Amino acid sequence: MPLGNDLVLAINPGATSTKIGIYSLAKAGQEKAEFEQTVRHPDEELKPFEGQSVQVQKDYRIAQIKSDLKKAGYGDTKFIAIVGRGGLLPPMASGTYLVDDVLLEQLRLAKRGDHASNLGGVLASAFAKELGVNAYIVDPVSVDERDDIARLSGSPLLPRNSFCHALNTKAIAKRYAKEQHKNYNDLRLIVIHLGSGNSISAHRDGRMLDNNSGEEGPFGVDRSGSVPEQPLIKLCFSGKYTEKQVLRQAQGEGGVLAYLGTRDMIEVEKRIEAGDKLAETVYEAMLYQVAKEAGGCAVVLRGKVDAVLLTGGMAYSKKIVATLTDYLGWIAPVKAYPGEDELLALSEGVFRVLSGEEQPKTLKV
């Protein structure tokens, strides 16, 4: 490990912003950043890139990040490693991956979709090359550790894809294990990530055995989840909607938003308190479906579950936590870890490598 500076720079690109965080190896486990910043990318600045791959934003975002780091006094910092959020990569095992030429090529090709997260490894690599250090990604959304029986959907034309909030899900599972002074590999867990989409997963032997993807399972804030297949097929061929419109209804304009016209769950809870019966029904239906999916994970684990962990933005809601605890508390103790903490999760992945707790992986295609 290099002497001197022990700081790691974490980079998490989103559609209209890039979150950056600086974490100290010496303070690993304290769950606190030395520095955090959200670098905003206004619409007028992104307009020249419209209709193009997110990769064309690379130099623009690098300049913005450098500017903010300089203003914060970190312009000349010699980071010991750089880590970026993983993108829509091929199916891969959980872990911390070196950003090499193979991984960069997969991010640029974007075979599984063009998404802002595809810039994570690219930006990390650019900063790392300037400093002569390694760049990493940790647990991208394409993490797939399913058993073969969990990959079949019922039609060979429609295999089950694994896209989920793997970064936060895995980080929370390992954090809980440390708190219990146990090895994550020895625990049987159900982890429920409650965000714009809901990711529910079963963990055993250090693997995520099964999980719903963004394409299936309970509906979320703006995702429709699993829907009845016959009406969906008829809707697709009705001539009323384009393919793009149907896809947007599935992800981005479905779920709570489609029923209630809002993505804000705090507003939904206020509507319920004011007597809005539709809001109450939609709210309860989403949590009902989340609980059913978690119950399925209990079956995957043969009914032997050490804990049910709730995380994501909605886990801040005492009402949501109480409702899911009521549904699932008979399976195992329920514990909430509100928020997503993706920057922290990225840094923790790198710290495990730098400390020798894990070996870095390389992508094989």
332 lies in the same domain as 348: no
Q: Distance between terminal CA atoms of the chain? A: 29
Contact between residue 81 and residue 128 where contact means Cβ atoms under 8 Å apart: yes
- 244 and 180 inside one domain: yes
pLDDT band at 333 (very low <50, low <70, confident <90, very high): very high
User: CATH number, domain at 178?
Assistant: 3.30.420.40
- 16 token code pair: 């209209």
Total number of domains constituting the chain: 2
C-beta of residue 129 within 8 angstroms of C-beta of residue 79? no
Q: Which of 25, 307, 326, 340 is nearest to 173 (CA)?
A: 307
Domain range enclosing 242: 166-339
- Residue 72 within a domain: yes
Q: With respect to residue 260, please indicate whether it lies within any of the assigned structural domains.
A: yes
289 and 243 inside one domain = yes
Q: Does the pLDDT value for residue 341 go beyond 90? A: no
Distance CA 27, CA 345 (A): 14
**Overall average pLDDT of the 167-174 stretch:** 94
Who contacts 355 (Cβ-Cβ below 8 Å, separation ≥6)?
A: 25, 28
What is the value of pTM for the model shown? 0.90
Same structural domain, 325 and 347: no
Based on the domain organization, do 263 and 132 belong to the same domain? no
Summarised one tens digit per residue, pLDDT across range 38-86 is 999 998 999 999 889 999 999 999 999 999 999 999 999 999 999 999 9
- Burial (CB count within 10 angstroms: exposed 0-12, middle 13-18, buried 19+), residue 75: exposed
- Please determine, for residue 3, whether its predicted confidence score (pLDDT) is greater than 50: no
pLDDT for 346: 96
pLDDT reported for residue 358: 93
92-115: per-residue pLDDT in tens? 999 999 999 999 999 999 998 888
Query: Residue 4: pLDDT above 60?
Result: no
**Residue 154 within any structural domain of the chain:** no
Whether residue 125 is found in the same domain as residue 260 = no
Q: What percent of the chain has pLDDT over 90?
A: 87
Same domain, 127 and 253: no
Q: With bands split at pLDDT 50, 70 and 90, how would you rate the model's confidence at 162?
A: confident
Is residue 362 situated within a structural domain?
no
Distance of CA 1 to the CA centre of its chain: 29
Statement to judge: residues 131 and 210 lie in one domain: no
Strand bridging mode 134-138 / 96-98: antiparallel
**pLDDT per position as a tens digit, 188-237:** 999 999 988 899 999 999 999 999 977 899 999 999 999 999 999 999 99
Pair (140, 188) in one structural domain: no
Q: Does a structural domain hold residue 333?
A: yes
At 131 the pLDDT is 95
Q: Are residues 141 and 172 in the same domain?
A: no
Whose CA is closest to 37, among 66, 78, 58? 66
Are the C-beta atoms of 137 and 83 separated by less than 8 Å?
A: yes
Torsion of CA 272, 273, 277, 283, to 10 degrees: 20
Q: Is the pLDDT of residue 30 over 90?
A: no
Phi-psi region of 180 (alpha: psi -120 to 50; beta: other; left: phi over 0): alpha
- Tell me if 302 is assigned to some domain: yes
Q: Is residue 229 part of a domain?
A: yes
State the pLDDT at residue 163: 84
